[in-house]
Amino acid sequence: MTLKTEMRVNRISDEVWEIPMTEKPGMLVPARIYATPGILQSMDRGVFDQVTNVACLPGITRHALCMPDGHWGYGFPIGGVAAFDLEAGVISPGGVGYDVNCGMRLIRTDLTLEDVQPKLERLMTELFRRVPAGVGAAGFIRLDRKSFDAVMMRGARWCVEEGYGWHRDLAHIEEGGCIAGADPSTVSDHAVGRGISQLGTLGSGNHYLEVQVVSNNRIFDPETATTLGLIGQDQIVVMVHCGSRGFGHQVASDYLKTFEKAMPRYGIAVKDQQLACAPFRSPEGRDYFAAMNCAANTAFANRQVITHQIRGAFAQVFGRSAEELGMELVYDVAHNIAKVERYPEGALLVHRKGSTRAFGPGSPDVPRDYQQIGQPVICGGSMETGSYVLVGTDRAVRETFGSTMHGAGRTMSRAQAKKSIRGEQLQRDMKRRGILVKAVSMSGLAEEAGFAYKDISEVVETVDRAGITKKVAELRPIGNIKG
């Protein structure tokens, strides 16, 4: 097997591979990659370099991990997971990602493809009008600093209190849509300036809003799917992928600078400047954690406001209220975040960057409605292929700090993708295949072509066979909105 690394990579099982501590000076734990042999061979050199850099960070526990959708990222690879001792370990913005609490949300409906197809053009136009996307887009909610502070502290709860959602939505959001410990005083004015007008906006890049179909023949676990409200029969659902926008990025940038200056004081040296970190218990570490939680709550709020707009669009187009249309929130889960969680080693700070929490049945952190099935995991594919709903397992908690994949993972650069196809051509091709795309930027659309991504089905099969998540249903796109 030819890999894009000179490091020794040992097979642990058909889906788990380990780079021993001997392969790089300074490694404190081995690195483990979840992948089939095919996926492992396709992984870029950055994955191997970066996951072993992460294995060198102070206080890391058990293994540095990378999921099968892994690829090169800033500091940590995308798909990276690492857990740190709270006393001896560090916190790193490079382990969270610039887009703090970038995450996925899935909304079900009682509508079917037959109901929606005749009105799809009108529906997508209305969604495109109500959910601003692309460069510099501003949301419809005007906030002053005091209100934005409330968003930072209360996240999706603030939205529901202000009428942008239903109280029962909160039960189906990770952490109830509001992470404790957010402190707006730790956030710069620069970050606030970038974020204050962006609530309810999608952004661009790989972020999207997608109308999808759940067909009977793509449900792999009918009982679990039914518990999630996914009944098949060409049912329509809506998926949202976005995060904390410029606000979260500014929080990460601000603290990378802070940590670069602080590291010599704490005697920390890192293999990559983008792994800048500080002890979790240090003043700098505590402040970043509080600021990151502000950004995480803002992302929950962002997706909640977008949900409010989606419900409004559906109600307008179909002439029935969102409640009558059965537009319940299935789940909302982050895939860029650091959280304190309990494991056999004790309380650990788990960084997930391009990785989704995947707790199994019975976990107190899983919503009451889903206690029997485990935590829903929502994974977006490329806009040309499918997306998946999975559920977490006890094995994930034992092996991967309750973590799994988050999406397809890129295999081609944006620049290469743009050279391969024009956005207008891609839009026409997709329409012929029954997928209606509304995009602000045609070059941005070309960058997101399906061929620039891994085959999500192979990634899903990997985590399913590895037992760290169980696949429930595949969702097929019929409409997509991109920035």
Partner 1 sequence: MAYSFHFLDDIALADLAFEAEGDSVEELFRAATQALLETLADPATVAATWERRVTNVEGNPADLLFEWLSNIVYWKDAAGVVFHDAELSVRQEGSSWNLAAVLRGASVDQTVQTLRSDVKGITKHLYDVRQEGTRWCARVVVDV
Return the structure tokens found at 176: 């109830």
Buried b (16+ CB within 10 A) or exposed e, 128-158: bebbbbbeebebebebeeeebbbbbbbbbbb
Dist. CA 331–CA 326, nearest whole Å: 14
Conformational region of residue 223, where left means phi above 0, alpha means psi within -120 to 50, and beta covers everything else:
alpha
Among 176, 181, 205, 367, binds partner 1 (CB under 8 A): 205
Classify residue 474 by burial, with Cβ atoms within 10 Å: 0-12, 13-18, 19+.
buried
Among 48, 98, 259, 289, binds partner 1 (CB under 8 A): 98
- Beta strand 64-71 with 31-34: parallel, antiparallel or unpaired? parallel
The residue type at 16:
V
Ranges of H-type helices in 131-188: 145-154, 156-161
Q: Which is nearer to partner 1, 107 or 187 (CB)?
A: 187
Q: x/- binding map, residues 133-172, to partner 1, per CB under 8 A?
A: -xxxxx----------------------------------
Return the structure tokens found at 324: 């009558």
Q: Which is nearer to partner 1, 247 or 331 (CB)?
A: 247
103 binds partner 1 (CB under 8 A): no
443 binds partner 1 (CB under 8 A): yes
269 binds partner 1 (CB under 8 A): no
Angle between helices 245-262 and 283-318 (to 10 degrees): 170
Return the structure tokens found at 166: 């239903």
Among 176, 441, 457, 458, binds partner 1 (CB under 8 A): 441
Identify the bridge partners of residue 219 per DSSP, sorted by sequence position: 473
Among 4, 7, 28, 44, binds partner 1 (CB under 8 A): 44
Dist. CA 378–CA 305, nearest whole Å: 19
Could you say which of 63, 335, 351, 406 is catalytic? 406
259 binds partner 1 (CB under 8 A): no
Considering only residues 316-375, where is the footprint of partner 1 by CB under 8 A? none
Question: Shortest Cβ distance from residue 130 to partner 1 (Å)?
Answer: 14
Classify residue 394 by burial, with Cβ atoms within 10 Å: 0-12, 13-18, 19+.
middle
Nearest to 333 by CA among 375, 278, 285: 375
Active site residue 308: no
415 binds partner 1 (CB under 8 A): yes
Q: How many residues bind partner 1 (CB under 8 A)?
A: 47
Question: Shortest Cβ distance from residue 25 to partner 1 (Å)?
Answer: 22
The residue type at 448:
E
Ranges of H-type helices in 109-244: 113-116, 120-130, 145-154, 156-161, 189-195, 222-227
Piece of the chain touching partner 1 by CB under 8 A; list 22-30, 103-111, 241-249, 315-323: 241-249
Q: Which is nearer to partner 1, 10 or 420 (CB)?
A: 420
Dist. CA 171–CA 142, nearest whole Å: 26
Among 175, 221, 287, 447, binds partner 1 (CB under 8 A): 447
Evaluate whether 336 touches 95 at the Cβ level (below 8 Å).
no
Among 256, 349, 466, 468, binds partner 1 (CB under 8 A): 256
412 binds partner 1 (CB under 8 A): yes
245 binds partner 1 (CB under 8 A): yes
125 binds partner 1 (CB under 8 A): no
73 binds partner 1 (CB under 8 A): yes
Q: Which is nearer to partner 1, 285 or 444 (CB)?
A: 444
What residues are labeled active site? 406
Positions touching partner 1 (CB under 8 A) are 44, 46, 71-74, 78, 98-99, 134-138, 190, 193-195, 197-198, 203-206, 245-246, 249-250, 252-253, 256, 273-274, 410-416, 419, 440-441, 443-444, 447, 483
